[in-house]
Structure 1
Amino acid sequence: MTEENVPAEPRDDDDTRSQPRVSPPSTGSESNRELQDVSRRRRESEEKLQQHLKEAQDKEAQDKEAQDKPAGAQDGPSE
């Protein structure tokens, strides 16, 4: 079994979504490097899109909570 085929051992801090992806140096042809670059950019774009969608859903939920609250309601005691 070559070193490339050895599965990576899981880490305790395996939250790779917050870490930038680093591609190994490419030794293939120019077209292969271009395809790898396009794939990397697509993955990064998809991650960014997912983050934006999550933020939009969170904002929508906050807006809905604000609308559900009666207009005259206050958190503190009324006089």
Structure 2
Amino acid sequence: MAPGGQVEIAGYKHTLDWFLCDDGTIPADSAYHKYMGAVGPCCKKLGVNSTLHGEDYQELLEKAEFVDVRVYIFKIPFGTWA
């Protein structure tokens, strides 16, 4: 990348290790969590790290000598919400 270039990584909070629900409407024993529990080991067999979060990407970019690395977290509701 040329000096002054920019990289954007989006969608990192929706990792395959856990679906984030801040209001308790998705119980831990839901079909969704069972599904995600099965997908994680499959990704691992394929050599895919499915548990990276924004802070992990930030650390990797800074180790690669990127500067002014910022992480923004936005709540993106879906389904029958509000």
Q: TM-score, with normalisation over the residues of structure 2?
A: 0.30
* Structure with the larger RCO, 1 or 2 (CA within 8 Å, 6+ apart): 2
Tell me which protein shows more helix as a share of its residues.
Answer: 1
Structure with larger Rg: 1
